Structure 1
């Protein structure tokens, strides 16, 4: 779901990923018929991993 939701990624002023637009992702999940209560629990973990991974990539370069 996240790979198709590029517009739901929040970008900071320096171009780094700061998080996800969780309400927008839940609206998309509803439209696609996904289990929203499950996504409410899982998306924050995906968000943390994405932000940490992006920060690591920026610090390595």
Structure 2
């Protein structure tokens, strides 16, 4: 789902991921027929992982 929702990823001034636009992702998920209650529980963990991974990449380069 996230690969098709690149516009819902918030990018900071230095190019790192700062978070996800969760309301936009939930609207898209609902339109695609995904289980909204499940995504409400999972997306915050996805967001934390993406932010942490982006920060790690930023410090390695």
TM-score by length of 2: 0.96
Q: Distance in 2 between matches of 1:3 and 1:42?
A: 16
Equivalenced residue count is 61
Q: By how many angstroms is 1:36 displaced?
A: 0.2
Alignment match, 2:37: 37
2:12 is matched with 12
Runs of 4+ in 1 over 4 A off after TM superposition: none
Unaligned runs of 5+ residues in structure 2 are: none
- Between the aligned partners of 1:52 and 1:15, the Cα distance in structure 2 is 13
Partner of 2:59: 59
